[in-house]
Chain A
């Protein structure tokens, strides 16, 4: 009843068999030690670590008032130390400083 089709399929089978890749025991070797599965976990851990580091960074200063004082010395008269110069012979006359 199927005598016409069966030989055709047999022929197809015979023609396809040579194209089958050769059998090798490595086909049944289990994948390596979780290498492939570790990669996404490591990437996720790295992202978490970066996030935590960013979170722990000191917060930005929001206003000028929050800045630390730049000059922390006691207020005193300008050029007070020049009241009694020991000598001014090196200064040209037009550059002589006249203190108020």
Chain B
């Protein structure tokens, strides 16, 4: 039996970066409804959002067998294909994130013009959440659609990826705000971001537990996939994702008192690390656990 990785590590990295962008954008648009109290979160979310997804998209295109033919994605559509629909969502999101970032610069009087008026900004803020849910879940549905790979063909995957996307995006914003802002100015913002991230981590833990359980009680192929995950990627999955990426930041948040910039930066970094390992393990181990023939 030969084992084969058709989708390489770049794909995993892309899934991760798209999630970080989505989460950062969600943090920015959601807090903008709460007025000026969260101006640093709104600012940093807008700063961060466009870049990871743009870098990730570049990776996706370079991984194609024919990178120069990528435009066919927008000409030849297939409504049954998650990738076809995902390419449209991704493009819309990327464009909006860049325009929104530019508008943020305009608000801070760093550029002289903007493409948005007040109504359009409101529209984007309302569209932000469904768009981010689209970005966060579609990366899961993308893998989900492969009937060949038991570890991917699992209905919980989109929820895991959505929770991880929001959580890593919020973490990225939290690190940005905590590291750059004057602590007394940003303290309450970071504090509430940390609470939001803890809730998201809780949701992700729940979804991940459901994922593992469904493989554990599933058919022979699903059980074999879990066996493979445990025996070959156990350290990364349980140690990297569960322990370091989720339980440790949650534990630090819950069991230590007071909020400091260093603590927020540490927790945010752990969450960002865990999200990356999660995508890598699922993408690579999923394929490795599935002998080609």
Q: Are A and B subunits of one complex?
A: no
